[in-house]
């Protein structure tokens, strides 16, 4: 089933040759179409689709003919969560699936197709608290300055990674940039975040200079991707950008640090916080809806502070031993 964008109508495929959809399929189609119209991304819609398809298969194995079957209750919902746990789904995945099913049943109840939401009050596994991996400013500078050559691809990658780090935008936001997102003075870039919400992010110093140099030789229209796989070609995918990041990590000798594309965003936020930037400003820059999401970077700063303190303490002890 094709996934469309906002108001695309691509969940519907009218025509004389269209096969008749079952009630369940039509319900899922209508639900996803409504999500598409409300601005959910194709990637999010694909996740909903996979989650709902898997649950439908589970219902069939349990002899349930429809998700609106009144016998589907909290006990069966708990059974499904237990089944996911037995199949060793990660807590993050279980929470996403639970969210998908809760939303679907809320929609069914609102449409009068289901008497109650069996997933309403269920809580999934507790998500483990993780401190995002970050690089120090010196390590990030090393990564960005280790440039393999001066080809068109090398200049593209350098400009792209500088923008990635110094703006702290998401990987999907980076991949979706087009030439027209840059302001005329190339001092700001328009970023489309989650739910198609737009924000303007400043471009300063070396990032703007590298973009100006890279784009000076490229004759592209406002609708063309800012970072294409080849001159005049399609936009780099998030997977291609991931490979570019891994290549630069190898060149910089940071291969043992577990650097991923998300490290750029985490490092940007942490470095801004370390330099005294207000947490609310960081929240606005990163496009976080909740300040609580941004506050995790304070924990990153504390973790790094503890690590540096431990290093200093070990050094002091070593110096004392040598002085005896």
So which residues are the catalytic ones?
Answer: 170, 194, 262, 265, 288, 297
DSSP strand pairing (198-202 vs 188-192): antiparallel
- The answer for residues whose C-beta is within 8 angstroms of residue 48's C-beta and 6 or more apart is 31, 32, 35, 40, 100, 103, 104
Question: Residue 255 carries which DSSP code?
Answer: G
CA distance 272 to 279: 9
Rg of the Cα trace of the chain? 24
DSSP string, 280-315: HHHHHHHT-S-HHHHHHHHHHHHHHHHHHHHHHHHH
CA distance 261 to 268: 12
| Cβ pair 173, 193 in contact under 8 A | yes
- The answer for residues whose C-beta is within 8 angstroms of residue 274's C-beta and 6 or more apart is 301
- The answer for residues whose C-beta is within 8 angstroms of residue 32's C-beta and 6 or more apart is 3, 11, 45, 48, 49
């Amino acid at each position: 089933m094709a996934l469309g964008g906002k108001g695309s109508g691509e969940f519907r495929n009218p025509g004389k040759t269209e096969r008749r959809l079952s009630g369940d399929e039509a319900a899922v189609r209508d639900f996803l179409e409504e999500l598409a119209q409300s601005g959910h991304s194709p990637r999010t819609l694909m996740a909903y689709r996979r989650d709902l398809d898997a649950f439908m298969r589970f219902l069939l194995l349990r002899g349930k003919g429809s998700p609106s079957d009144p016998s589907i209750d909290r006990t069966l919902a708990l059974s499904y969560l237990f089944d996911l746990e037995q199949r060793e789904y990660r807590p993050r995945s279980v929470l996403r699936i639970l969210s998908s099913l809760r939303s679907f049943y809320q929609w069914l109840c609102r449409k009068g197709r289901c008497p109650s939401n069996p997933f309403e009050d269920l809580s999934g596994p507790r998500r483990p608290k993780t401190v995002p991996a970050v690089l120090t400013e010196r390590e990030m500078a090393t990564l960005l300055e280790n440039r393999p050559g001066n080809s068109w691809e090398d200049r593209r990658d350098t400009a792209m990674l500088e923008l990635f780090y110094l703006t702290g935008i998401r990987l999907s936001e980076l991949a979706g940039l087009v030439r027209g997102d840059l302001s005329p003075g190339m001092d700001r870039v328009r970023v489309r975040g989650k739910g198609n919400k737009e924000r303007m992010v400043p471009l300063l110093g070396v990032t703007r200079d590298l973009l100006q140099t890279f784009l000076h030789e490229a004759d592209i229209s406002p609708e063309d991707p800012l970072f294409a796989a080849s001159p005049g070609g399609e936009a780099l995918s998030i997977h291609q950008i991931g490979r570019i990041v891994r290549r630069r990590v190898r060149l910089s000798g940071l291969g043992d640090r577990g650097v991923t594309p998300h490290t750029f965003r985490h490092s940007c936020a942490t470095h801004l916080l370390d330099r005294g930037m207000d947490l609310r400003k960081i929240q606005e820059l990163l496009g976080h809806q909740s300040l609580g999401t941004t506050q995790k970077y304070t924990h990153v700063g504390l973790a790094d502070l503890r690590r540096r303190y431990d290093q200093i303490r070990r050094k002091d002890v070593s110096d004392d031993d040598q002085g005896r």
